[in-house]
Amino acid sequence: MLNPEIEKRKTFAIISHPDAGKTTLTEKFLLFGGAINTAGAVKRNKANQSNTSDFMEIEKQRGISVATSVMGFEYSGKRINILDTPGHKDFAEDTYRTLSAVDSVILVVDCVKGVEEQTEKLMSVCRMRNTPVIIFINKMDREGKEAYDLLDEIEEKLSISLCPLSWPIGQGHTFKGVYSIYNKHLNLFNSDKTKVTDSVVAASDLNDPSLLEYLKENEIKTLKDDVELVDGIYGKLDKDLYTDGLVAPVFFGSAINNFGIKELLDTFIEIAPSPKHREAEERDVLVEEKNFSGFVFKIHANLDPKHRDRIAFLRICSGKFERNKFYYHTRQDKKLKFSNPMDFMANEKSIVEEAWPGDVVGLYDSGNFKIGDTLTEGEKLQFKGIPSFSPSIFKEVENMDPMRTKQLEKGIEQLTDEGVAQLFVMQPGNRKVIGAVGELQFEVINFRLEHEYGAKCRFRTLSYTRSSWVTSGDRKKLDEFVKRKQQHIGFDKEANPVYLADSEYMINLTKQDYPDIEFHKTSEFK
Ligand code: GDP
């Protein structure tokens, strides 16, 4: 038996290709959970999603994104923690890291567009960690692809077995709502874009004559046939397969119209996993252990030069976190205490006295933390599962103000600790190369170096598009490889050698030439 405080926690992220409806669904969850009263209260971090690189616009929104980084609320006796992820593809690495701090995800798919580029990428990150995934097929009020076709497409493109737990009644202009296959229950709502209304009909029996007031006879017949067919094809949900990340339950709906949300939320809190044990380098850490442990998965900088504090987001993995208690910072080998740890409820933050596994607390930080840092009650632990991925753009830093070299070095060091981008050092000359997923990061770095550190730099684009972390069972062979390929080797922050290449093809060629060298796609290799 788990401690009820842990058992009641459901920590997850809603993820999607931009515009599929992630923000709308988040907002509707908060509405149904009673955490907000009208939609629109959660300010949109929309700028983060536009495809233009409007960096200043994004900066304006940064204040908002602190507030929406975590949204906690109570629903049906559960404590729900929704972790927000940026939608813009240039911030994909941020999203991947946030996924290291959740116990499950809800992946939103647009029924008109089906599986999109980001949908596939996000799914592959979930697969890396066997994160349990629920799929919400949104915008059923639009004339989209047919439900069965969508399921086939998702199964094929995302390589995961599905199990529909709700089913749409009609689609597009004939869409009336959804039937919960899981609870064998039908609730129809009036469409309302800003608040939650009582259901207009609730029935557990599809033969209930009162349904005829709201649905046509042929609609009821089609629904009955569909439910039977779906049961025949997909069968019942095997919860273990879901928690192992092998089967994804599917829900249909229209987030904007409130359709299908209650069915999703009610089933989610029942089947979604509570916090589970976590792997550390040293051992498995169980949630019910008495001693506290947690790790930093995100650092948010305050861009106001008068308030330099950063906020480090800590996911609690075991024990109980308490305010004003000393904890052990394992990388720095020192003790720290936090007098103002923050808790996030809906879109407000407040000081928290204690927090449990699954919770995320915000810690004011003056530069102690970097992504992946672990706090414990004294044990030396390093949590796994927060790897760096291969960047796709690499640029060499050129100092533009030799009088401010120290500031530049410090700025680059701190910004890459925060996870804005990755730093590689190349020889000869200790040249600094920044690797990032998108151009936006370089704008962010330039702007912040100038405004926060008073340093100026220029970036020289290199031809690399891929990086591979290299290891070998034979130390000599590795040294030899690093020496031979020196001009393409960068050392990451942990001084691991990384082979930089112009293409995947180049990496494959090199692999053939050096059979004793192992090439890894991420910085974490087993
Ligand atoms: P995000 O980029 O994934 O966060 O998507 P948003 O939640 O911002 O939604 C993108 C657009 O789709 C917005 O204009 C929403 O109003 C719209 N939208 C969201 N849900 C639905 C829906 O169920 N039906 C329709 N027709 N539009 C929706």
Q: What is the ipTM, given to two decimal places? A: 0.99
Burial class (CB in 10 A: 0-12, 13-18, 19+), 396: middle
Looking at the CA of residue 25, tell me the nearest atom of ligand 1: 7
**One domain for residues 493 and 397:** yes
In this model, does residue 526 exceed pLDDT 60? no
CA of 191 to the centre of ligand 1 (A): 15
Is 141 assigned to a binding site?
yes
Of residues 363, 386, 393, 493, the one with CA closest to residue 95 = 386
In short, whether 388's Cβ falls inside 6 Å of ligand 1 is: no
| Cα dihedral across residues 95, 96, 100, 106: positive or negative | positive
User: Quick check: is 192 in a domain?
Assistant: no
Q: Tell me what percent of the chain is helix, strand and coil, each rounded to the nearest 5.
A: 30, 30, 40
User: Quick check: is 220 in a domain?
Assistant: no
Say what the pLDDT of residue 395 is: 98
In short, whether 138's Cβ falls inside 6 Å of ligand 1 is: yes
Q: What's the CA gap between 31 and 28, in Å, rounded?
A: 5
Long-range contacts of range 518-521, CB-CB < 8 Å, 24 or more positions apart? 518/470, 518/471, 518/472, 519/468, 519/469, 519/470, 520/468, 520/469, 520/470, 520/471, 521/389, 521/390, 521/468, 521/469
User: Quick check: is 160 in a domain?
Assistant: yes
Q: Is there a contact between 497 and 483 (Cβ–Cβ < 8 Å)?
A: no
In short, whether 467's Cβ falls inside 6 Å of ligand 1 is: no
Of residues 429, 378, 419, the one with CA closest to residue 399 = 429
User: Quick check: is 227 in a domain?
Assistant: no
pLDDT digit string (tens) for 327-372?
999 999 999 999 999 988 766 778 999 999 999 999 998 889 999 9
**One domain for residues 156 and 61:** yes
Is 18 assigned to a binding site?
yes
**One domain for residues 69 and 99:** yes
Is 300 assigned to a binding site?
no
In short, whether 45's Cβ falls inside 6 Å of ligand 1 is: no
Looking at the CA of residue 49, tell me the nearest atom of ligand 1: 2
**One domain for residues 315 and 248:** no
**One domain for residues 253 and 292:** no
In short, whether 19's Cβ falls inside 6 Å of ligand 1 is: yes
Instruction: Count CB-CB contacts under 10 A for residue 436.
Output: 22
Looking at the CA of residue 19, tell me the nearest atom of ligand 1: 2
Residues 6+ apart with CB under 8 A from 391: 421, 422, 435, 436, 437, 467
User: Quick check: is 228 in a domain?
Assistant: no
Last residue of a domain, one of 222, 257, 274: 274
CA of 255 to the centre of ligand 1 (A): 7
Q: Is there a contact between 23 and 119 (Cβ–Cβ < 8 Å)?
A: no
Q: Is there a contact between 242 and 164 (Cβ–Cβ < 8 Å)?
A: no
User: Quick check: is 471 in a domain?
Assistant: yes
Mean pLDDT of the chain, nearest integer: 89
Mean pLDDT of 107-115: 97
Q: Domain range holding 134? A: 4-169+236-274
Beta bridge partners of 315: 295, 360
Last residue of a domain, one of 244, 274, 304: 274
**One domain for residues 265 and 409:** no
**One domain for residues 126 and 247:** yes
Q: What's the CA gap between 154 and 184, in Å, rounded?
A: 24
CATH number at residue 316: 3.40.50.300
pLDDT digit string (tens) for 128-161?
889 999 999 999 999 999 999 999 999 999 999 9
- Residue among 14, 24, 136 whose CB has most ligand 1 atoms within 8 A, to mutate: 24
**One domain for residues 348 and 429:** no
Looking at the CA of residue 255, tell me the nearest atom of ligand 1: 23
In short, whether 23's Cβ falls inside 6 Å of ligand 1 is: yes
Of residues 93, 73, 70, the one with CA closest to residue 14 = 70
CA of 258 to the centre of ligand 1 (A): 12
Is 20 assigned to a binding site?
yes
CATH number at residue 473: 3.30.70.3280
Q: Which helix (H) or strand (E) holds 217?
A: helix 217-234
Q: What's the CA gap between 445 and 236, in Å, rounded?
A: 50
Q: Is there a contact between 139 and 108 (Cβ–Cβ < 8 Å)?
A: no
Is 85 assigned to a binding site?
yes
User: Quick check: is 486 in a domain?
Assistant: yes
Q: What's the CA gap between 71 and 349, in Å, rounded?
A: 9
pLDDT digit string (tens) for 457-473?
999 999 999 999 999 99
**One domain for residues 241 and 368:** no
Determine if the pTM surpasses 0.90: no
Q: Is there a contact between 108 and 28 (Cβ–Cβ < 8 Å)?
A: no
CA of 110 to the centre of ligand 1 (A): 9
Q: What's the CA gap between 89 and 138, in Å, rounded?
A: 20
The DSSP code sequence of 360-403 is: EEEEEESS---TT-EEESS----B-----B--SEEEEEEES-GG
Last residue of a domain, one of 376, 405, 436: 376
Q: Is there a contact between 103 and 117 (Cβ–Cβ < 8 Å)?
A: no
Buried b (16+ CB within 10 A) or exposed e, 271-291: bbbbbbebebeeeebebeeee
pLDDT digit string (tens) for 219-253?
999 999 999 999 999 999 999 999 999 999 999 99
**One domain for residues 269 and 290:** no
Say what the pLDDT of residue 67 is: 56
Q: Say how many domains are in the chain.
A: 3
**One domain for residues 361 and 422:** no
Looking at the CA of residue 87, tell me the nearest atom of ligand 1: 2
Say what the pLDDT of residue 349 is: 77
CA of 311 to the centre of ligand 1 (A): 30
pLDDT digit string (tens) for 284-339?
999 999 999 999 999 887 655 666 678 899 999 999 999 999 999 999 999 999 99
- Residue among 256, 258, 261, 264 whose CB has most ligand 1 atoms within 8 A, to mutate: 256
**One domain for residues 369 and 426:** no
In this model, does residue 425 exceed pLDDT 90? yes
Q: Backbone dihedral region of 6: left (phi > 0), alpha (psi from -120 to 50 degrees) or beta?
A: alpha
In short, whether 20's Cβ falls inside 6 Å of ligand 1 is: yes
User: Quick check: is 223 in a domain?
Assistant: no
pLDDT grade, residue 48 (50/70/90)?
very low
Residue nearest to atom 26 of ligand 1 (CA): 139
In this model, does residue 57 exceed pLDDT 90? no
